[in-house]
């Protein structure tokens, strides 16, 4: 199972992102039904979609921000992909996240990523696609697939 970070979704759809072409290239490899990842299931933490919508529609951040309707449509398309499963925290993953926040002395800016990683780990995932490997490396549970 391969997990997706919000950065990957944003870079796929923000055409002016310096990482856009790399994100598209990696997406094409991941989606290839005959390639290396053909049997992989992709996990998306539910809050990645919330973060994606929040960021990609921000007109103060992007001149070419998507409309809310466009962002919701993209989210719905992902929700309906056969190899994509949306995952949600449970009591175990939340407890794991709290433990990691304490053990690694992580601050408030790490809440979302730590909860996401804990949820992914609880699902048995081993890899995460991200532009920010440093957000996950300290936890030592997910191998980072970077596309920078």
Rounded Cα distance, 36 and 97, in Å: 31
Smallest CA-to-CA distance from 139 within 19, 46, 125 is with: 125
- Outline where DSSP puts E strands in the chain: 2-4, 42-45, 84-87, 127-129, 143-145
Residue 33 has pLDDT above 80, yes or no: no
Rounded Cα distance, 116 and 3, in Å: 9
pTM of the model: 0.91
Q: Which is more confident, 25 or 146? A: 25
Q: Which is more confident, 32 or 43? A: 43
How many degrees, rounded to 5, is the angle at CA 140 between CA 23 and CA 26? 15
Categorize the per-residue pLDDT at 32 as very low, low, confident or very high, splitting at 50, 70 and 90.
Answer: confident
């Amino acid at each position: 199972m391969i997990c997706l970070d919000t950065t990957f979704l944003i870079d796929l759809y923000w055409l002016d992102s310096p990482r856009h072409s790399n994100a598209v290239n990696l997406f094409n490899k991941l989606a290839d039904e005959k390639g290396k990842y053909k049997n992989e299931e992709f996990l998306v933490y539910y809050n990645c979609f919330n973060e994606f919508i929040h960021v990609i529609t921000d007109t103060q951040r992007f001149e070419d921000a998507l409309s809310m309707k466009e962002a919701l449509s993209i989210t719905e398309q992902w929700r309906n992909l056969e190899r994509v499963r949306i995952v949600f925290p449970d009591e175990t993953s939340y407890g794991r996240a709290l433990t990691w926040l304490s053990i690694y002395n992580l601050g408030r800016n790490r809440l979302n990523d730590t909860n996401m990683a804990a949820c992914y780990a609880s699902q048995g995932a081993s890899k995460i696609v991200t532009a920010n490997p440093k957000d996950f490396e300290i936890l030592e549970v997910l191998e980072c697939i970077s596309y920078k």
